[in-house]
Chains A and B, each alone.
Chain A
Amino acid sequence: MKEDDSLSKKILVVDDEKNIRLLLKEELQDEGYDVIMAENGAAALEMIQKEVPDLVTLDIKMPGEDGLSILRKIREIEYDLPVIICSAYSVYKTDFSAVAADHYVTKSSDFSELKNKIQEILSYKS
């Protein structure tokens, strides 16, 4: 991606696994994004209101509140905030709650689908 396109775009990574958060942060920073992180739903919702990210990547399987429930709350407070579900499980793709996400990516070592989708969604937004 061109550096100008991602200038000042802020992405919130929500994942309970620290290593995944850090890996995603590194990958997305390499693309020129600002990256902030949250390890659970409560922290994510607080950050959304305080930091106003441009896009959220959201894990589903997390201790306490799961990602689909957090997604519902995000839609209540920030109706149009783009959210990409980033889960190790493809099975939730057909869960009706997942349709409120902009896109669903199954976690893998190849981040190209996620990066392409982020770029595409943010380009529509701008």
Chain B
Amino acid sequence: MLDSDLRSISPEWIELLLAPVLMKDFGFVTPYYCRHKYDGTITNMIAYPLTWVLYGRRVRQPIGGDFGFSLAFVKSLLEKDVWETDIARFGIDIWMTTVAICEKFKICQSFLGAKIHDDKDPGKDLSPMFVQVVGTIFSLMEIYHENWLRVKGSRPTAIFGFESEFAPNPIDVDQGNMIRKFQEGLLRYQHIWEKVLEKENFRKIQEVAKMEVSHFELPVELWVKSLYDFSIAYKNRNGGFSSAEIIEALVPIYYAKTASFVNRTQSLDTSQAEEAIRKQCGVFESLKPYLVEAWTSQG
């Protein structure tokens, strides 16, 4: 399976995605790319860390768009009744990755070099994708709660291919636009945030909204707890809000997190930014008890 907007694909990609299936008996192969630090922000801020913390598997590109899989895995996917839902749209990648992990298919990653596609400013183009991907992640948390509630720690995922030097295309990010959307979000979604977020988290979010662009920062812990609060609200439909309303209300906070990440990593090169993302995953892991406690205590 390949993304339709790819511009960096080469014939080797097919071999790299299929060889682990054909030669090594893997069920599902996810991509591993060299990407610009601001490409794939939904991956970096949400999909990668949540896959890591929930299901205990470090899969760097769980929504990468380019995958290899075995016949047995395809058959297993086709049996599931999801094909008319958001899962079958932007949610398809995270769904496949989560199913592969939870249903114990053997997973690996294949290094494909640089991913060059139709880059998007994360503050301008990603809302529909965000709603479908995050909605799918939260829905899967309900389906697979017995799996992830049991998981402690995390395990790496095997990686194949050979690294070479690649320079990913730079991506221009308009932080000011994202911060404005966050501040507007406070006005527009305050009534939802108040019901969804823990009182202390809501208070801190209000404080963050007052910060100026130059030193804007949403602390990682606050981001993680807010995301966990939203997953709980999605399950419980807090305040009588629909699942779509809850996810839409999360978008401005995600913009705040992305703007904050950009502020903190502007002077970092690709590998230093990667290390920052890994450390962030560690925070997700250390705060998992917060999520488990909230999930189990609220039915």
Q: What per-residue 1/0 map shows which CB atoms of B241-282 lie under 8 Å from chain A?
A: 000000000000000000000000000000100110000000
Q: Which residues of chain B have C-beta atoms less than 8 A from A82's C-beta?
A: 155
Q: Judge whether B80 is part of the interface by a CB distance below 8 angstroms.
A: no
Q: Judge whether B225 is part of the interface by a CB distance below 8 angstroms.
A: no
Q: Main SS of the interface on chain B?
A: mixed
- Whether B156 lies near A100 (C-beta < 8 A) is yes
Q: Which residues of chain A have C-beta atoms less than 8 A from B152's C-beta?
A: 123-124
Q: Tell me the residues in window 86-125 of chain A with beta carbons closer than 8 Å to chain B beta carbons.
A: 93-97, 99-102, 120-121, 123-124
Q: How far is the CA of A48 from the CA of B106 in the complex (A)?
A: 20
- The size bracket of the interface on B is 20 to 34
> Which B residues are within 8 Å of any A CB, using their own CB?
24, 32, 56, 58, 60, 106, 108-109, 111, 152-153, 155-160, 163, 271, 274-275
* Closest CB in chain A relative to B117 CB, distance in Å: 20
- Whether B163 lies near A121 (C-beta < 8 A) is no
- Whether A75 lies near B159 (C-beta < 8 A) is yes
28 A–B pairs (Cβ distance < 8 Å), ordered by A: A72-B158, A72-B159, A72-B160, A75-B108, A75-B159, A76-B158, A79-B106, A79-B158, A82-B155, A94-B275, A96-B32, A96-B111, A97-B159, A97-B163, A99-B32, A99-B58, A99-B60, A99-B156, A99-B159, A100-B158, A100-B159, A101-B156, A102-B156, A120-B153, A123-B152, A123-B153, A124-B152, A124-B153
